[in-house]
Structure 1
Amino acid sequence: MQAIQKTGLYWLGNDLRRHDNECFVKASESVEHLLVVYCIEPQWLTAGRYQQI
């Protein structure tokens, strides 16, 4: 009989730091697999003045 493995989901907000993010550390220590989600704003992918060559 196989043991049940825990999988967690962590949704990243604006704070992308992992090393001092207490919630992220606790989530990663409490499950075998951690899925991390981060949503990118669509306007970040459009050419703007900083992306022009």
Structure 2
Amino acid sequence: MKTTISLDEMKNVRGGSGDINVLIFLGAMLIFIPMVGVALSIAGLVKAVVS
């Protein structure tokens, strides 16, 4: 899986239903980023309890 998207790929995506794909991608990022933060904070709590 490739996580980075080049500008050329973004331009290609914008054809046809590209706007919907971009909205889905942005929505996924908005959901994914807080989940990572929560996971990191939980991991920090676990480390603090274990040590």
One fold, TM greater than 0.5? no
What is the TM-score normalised by the length of structure 1?
0.28
Query: Comparing both chains, which one has the higher relative contact order based on Cα–Cα distances under 8 Å and sequence gaps of 6 or more?
Result: 1
Q: Which has the higher strand share?
A: 1
